[in-house]
Amino acid sequence: MNTNIIETDSLTKGVGSQTRVNHIDLRVPEGCVYGFLGPNGAGKTTTLKLLLGLLKPTEGTITFFGQKMSEQNRLSILKHTGSLIESPSFYGHLTGLENLEIIAKMKKVPAKEITNVLQTVRLYEQKDKKVKQYSLGMKQRLGIAMALLGNPRVLILDEPTNGLDPAGIQEIREFIKNLPVLRQMTVIVSSHLLSEMEQMADMVGIINHGCLIFQGTMSALEAQGESLEDAFLKLTGGGDSL
C-alpha cells in the first residue's frame, strides 16, 4: 500500500461534557478510496470537519501530505483538498455552468477546468439547465464537480448518496470508485451503510461512539466474522447501519 497522505494522532473533539471524537489515529493511504463507516451520530461528520479545519481539535494532530496542520499552513494545505460536507449549496436560479463559474472565480481556477469537471461528473449535457430543475442525483454530482475544481489531491465526501434513489446511488458509487484512476486522487467517503463500503472502498475505518474501532482493508474486516455484515455488527453492536 502507498504512503499515507493523511494521518491523525490522538485526534479528539470535545463539546461541553461530550467527547464527539475520541483519540482517533486515521491512516489514509495515497491513491485509495477510504471508507469512513459508522452509525448515525458516531462522529463521522465531526471528524471530517476537523480534517478540513472547520472545527478546532481539543487534542491531537492532523498531518496532510507530510505536513502537520497549523494555523499558519492550514489554507495552503486545504488548497489541495476538495470537499462536500452535508448538503451542497447552489444558486437555483442559475445554471450548473454558472454555479461552477462562481466557484472557479472564488478558487482562482482557470475557466477551462469547468468543462473538464462537468465531463468527469457527466453533467456536460445539462450544464445550461437551471439547477432548480436538477434531480437530487444531479445536484450531488454538481456538488462533487465544485469540489473537484482546482484538481485537489484529496477529496472528502460526507454521505454523498444520502437521499438518492437506487439508480442515483449506483451512479455516485461507481463514479467515486473510479476517481483515484480518473483524477489521480485520494478519496475519503463517509457512510452509515456497510453495503456502500463493500462496493467502493479499498480501505475502511469504522467509528462508533467517537472511537475508531477498526481500520484496515475490507478483507481484513471480513476476517473478523463469518461475513462483512457479521463483523460490522460485532464491532458496533448493531444499529441503523446496514
Which whole number is the average pLDDT over 173-180?
Answer: 88
Decide: helix, strand or coil at residue 143.
Answer: helix
Q: What is the pLDDT of residue 128?
A: 96
Q: What is the pLDDT of residue 239?
A: 53
Is the CATH number 3.40.50.300 carried by domain 1-80+153-237?
yes
Distance in angstroms (rounded) separating the CA atoms of residues 117 and 148: 7
Q: What is the pLDDT of residue 27?
A: 97
Look up residue 15 and give its amino acid.
V
> How much is the pTM?
0.88
Q: Where are the domains of the chain?
A: 1-80+153-237, 84-151
pLDDT by residue (tens digit) across 46-68? 999 999 999 999 999 999 999 99
Which whole number is the average pLDDT over 141-146?
Answer: 91
Look up residue 38 and give its amino acid.
G
Least confident of 83-87, 90-94, 147-151: 83-87
Q: Sign of the CA dihedral 20, 22, 28, 32?
A: negative
Q: CB 231: neighbour CB atoms within 10 A?
A: 20
- Mean pLDDT for the chain overall: 88
